[in-house]
Amino acid sequence: MKRRQFLQYAIASGLTAMGLSQFGQQPAQSQSPSGRQKLVVILLRGVVDGLNVVVPYREADYYDARPTLAIAPPGAGQGAIDLDGQFGLHPALAELMPLWQSKQLAFVHACGSPDPTRSHFDAQDYMELGTPGNKKPGDGWLNRVLAHLPAGRPTQALNLGNQTPLILSGSKSVANLAFGRQAIRPLPVDRPPIQAAFDRLYAGDTPLSRAYQEGLEAREILKAELNTEMTQASRGAPGPSSLKINSRRLAQLLTGNAETQIAFVSLGG
């Protein structure tokens, strides 16, 4: 899936608007029923050409430096869409304009890491750790944010994916929700005899036991929250794209009984 498709699906489901409403004029939309603010972080892995996403079309140097790559100014064929008289949006991202016009979307231009690494992998690690040039902390900045929030349910922090990413790694527990229909697929531990055996094995108060107990509770919360939608949506018909389903699912968890407060999803390619 291309980034353009990702943004289109996210907009269609309302996830982008929810995730960005923190920066707009409607802060009430970013709060859960309990009054807690929420944060959605979407990391587009790979590379993005920021100067061609938000085009500085008033700068002559931009066109001098990019004689074949530059996006034409507003009004020209395939030109940028004017944002503020100085910058323009790439024409392929026209569907973002309603969010910009309603002040629910902001761009942070000319920003980046002060670390001069040319390693794409190191750059991603530093972005997730929040410590450019230093990997020693070992825990992600979103996990550190979670440590400063009042304790919530085991689904307070949610990663959309099979493995906890670096940005959410750390001492605080994080729930993982698999992509697509794998999200609530039956697992061996769901069989009563196996679950009973694991319950007995991890009934204590050791770190491993607490991890098992929190993980099981988080899974039950997610299954209860999502199972109704899954049942109604199937009806033997193929579903929409995985990302469209998952962004709606994430919005449901942010506003429902799961009380998810921090959510993270990344997209490759």
Q: Compute the average pLDDT of residues 259-266.
A: 87
pTM here is: 0.60
> Per-residue pLDDT tens for 178-235?
765 554 555 666 667 777 777 777 788 888 777 777 777 666 666 665 555 443 432 2
Q: Where are the domains of the chain?
A: 3-48+118-267
Those residues with Cβ within 8 angstroms of residue 236's Cβ, 6 or more apart along the chain or in another chain: none
The DSSP bridge pattern shows strands 81-82 and 88-89 to be antiparallel
pLDDT > 50? residue 241: no
Rounded to the nearest angstrom, the gap between the alpha carbon of residue 59 and the centroid of all alpha carbons in its chain is 33
Virtual torsion, Cα 234, 240, 246, 251, nearest 10 deg: -90
Q: What pLDDT, in 10s, does the model give residues 103-155?
A: 999 999 888 888 888 888 888 889 899 999 998 877 999 999 999 998 888 88
The pLDDT, as a whole number, for residue 226 is: 53
Q: Which two three-digit tokens encode residue 8?
A: 């289109």
123's enclosing H/E stretch is helix 120-129
Q: How confident is the model at residue 20 (pLDDT cuts 50, 70, 90)?
A: very low
Higher pLDDT, 129 or 24: 129
HSE at residue 12, side-chain half, CA atoms within 13 A, is 12
CA triple 220-150-208, angle to 5 deg: 50
> 82: pLDDT confidence band, cut at 50, 70 and 90?
very high
Reference 31, options 17, 41, 23, 21; nearest CA is: 21
CA distance 23 to 12: 19
